[in-house]
Amino acid sequence: MPARRPPRTAPTTGRATRTAGAKPAPGDVDALTDAFLTASRLLVAVSARSISAVDESITVAQFRVLVVLDSRGPAKLTTLAGHLAVNPSTASRMVDRLVAAGLVDRETSPTSRRELVVGLTGQGAAVVRSVTRRRRAEITRIVTRMPVTSRRGLVRALRAFTEAGGEPPVDGGADVPWL
């Protein structure tokens, strides 16, 4: 088993006071990056469990295709590849598998016969809803175990993070009064 990397520590020069709008110190960025990496491991595990509970044949990457189509609507194959940050050939192979599973449809674009448009089927939309319900329930259980004081500011920070990453918000999220 590989050795675990020791946790990063704060600089020993003391805490610098920051003014509003100032760039974070490199140590702050490192600590935040480490926290997000750790949280992302947990979220990937939650996602994988939720996906396999609904359909064991769908991979996390294939589910991402379904989520992108669900949140952004039908797209040309090249546009879908861009949203996924993969090569069009990779997107095409994922779409092939999802078409075979009956989760997406692929049709010729109405504007160009040389382009394909990919969209969710009813079954694909149902899978996204079911997996999302399961993920929401598990994340809710985790969040309720957090102290209320730790939750303060978390919604705002996560919204800023996802916005910076270009991820559309999940519909149905309630506003949180303690922001």
Per-residue pLDDT of the chain (179 residues), as tens digits, is: 445 555 544 444 334 444 556 666 666 888 888 988 999 999 999 999 999 999 999 999 999 999 999 999 999 999 999 999 999 999 999 999 999 999 999 998 888 888 889 999 999 999 999 999 999 999 999 999 998 888 878 888 888 888 999 888 876 544 444 33
DSSP element (H, E) containing 107 = strand 104-108
pLDDT reported for residue 14: 39
Tokens of 174: 């309630």
Please name the residue ranges forming H helices in the chain: 26-54, 60-72, 77-84, 88-100, 122-144, 148-151, 154-164
Please tell me whether the overall predicted TM-score, pTM, comes out greater than 0.85 for this model.
Answer: no
Residue partners of 148: CB distance under 8 A and separation at least 6: 178
DSSP element (H, E) containing 24 = none
Tokens of 116: 């394909």
Give dist(CA 166, CA 19) in Å, integer: 27
CA-CA-CA-CA dihedral for 46, 41, 141, 54, to nearest 10: 0
**Strand-pair category, 116-120 with 75-76:** antiparallel
Q: Which residue has the tokens 């504007």?
A: 111
Task: Please count the other Cβ atoms lying within 10 Å of the Cβ belonging to residue 3.
Answer: 5
pLDDT reported for residue 30: 87
